[in-house]
Structure 1
């Protein structure tokens, strides 16, 4: 029943075995053990799917924020040499905004997370945000690929479980007859 350890997706998620002929796959009296193993594998796949969906949701919310910050840094770079102040609004609290007039500078502060903010030169900030956006986009594509792979493996395991269960029912009926 073991799958070839080399059969996995690029991030190491193992491929589910496909049961073609149940009679060749299950030895007499082992159907319950096989069913338990299949249920265990199915639970692992579903756990990975839930984790992947959470990661996808986080990335989908993070990417627009990175894009918005990237656009703002580009705007500040375009206004670096301009002496006229920029009129803007900024958030004081969730429901309270204030007007401000600021002079564009050659540096920008970026939240990195975990209550950490660092000051970067504008060009350096743009490079950092470009890298973060590229990395987040690549991660999102990989997570979506993993989720599709997991859906296929879950379907395969559900079909396998049904086949082994039906085979077990068939054997039990044959023993009674």
Structure 2
């Protein structure tokens, strides 16, 4: 069985239901197929959360990168920068920032480090590349997972219809 580039297995399509049903009962087969759909849905929810997180993170990284670029451009001047900076979602403060060659970046887990503007630009650019690649992969995985869920739902419908047909044939044979 093949998989996508990130290891999500491809759902098998049941071509010949009669052949497929020789190994197990309809109830057990339907249960097994439903469990597989549940696993795909779990992976889909995980990728949806990942996509949402990255869609929030990418604009923040881009905004921070723009600010670092602006500070790099202003390094040669002696004129301070008058700005408003965000303290909280709805709270801003006035600030006068002298030209600087260093910036402090939050890395997460209450950790902040000082970088030169060149180092900060390099770090943020690499984080942006990783985030964009992760978003692209998450979107590809979601498309792949939707296809696999559809395949498994078709398999379930085919097995269920096969079971209904077999029961009808048994009733007609016994009548």
Cα distance in 1, alignment partners of residues 35 and 95 from structure 2: 58
Aligned with 2:33 (options 32, 38, 49): 38
- TM-score, structure 2 normalization: 0.95
Query: Aligned pairs, how many?
Result: 172
Aligned with 2:75 (options 73, 80, 85): 80
Aligned with 1:174 (options 152, 169, 172): 169
What is residue 125 of structure 2 aligned with on the other side? 130
What is residue 154 of structure 1 aligned with on the other side? 149
1:164 maps onto 2:159 in alignment: yes
Where in structure 2 are there 5+ consecutive unaligned residues? Answer: none
TM superposition shift of 1:28: 6.9
SS at match of 2:137: helix
Cα distance in 2, alignment partners of residues 67 and 134 from structure 1: 10
Deviation track 1:46-76 (CA, whole Å, cap 9, x = no partner) reads 0000110000000000000000000000000
TM superposition shift of 1:162: 0.2
TM superposition shift of 1:92: 3.2
- Comparing 58-67 with 30-39, which one deviates more in the overlay? 30-39
Q: CA RMSD in A?
A: 1.1
Cα distance in 1, alignment partners of residues 128 and 18 from structure 2: 51
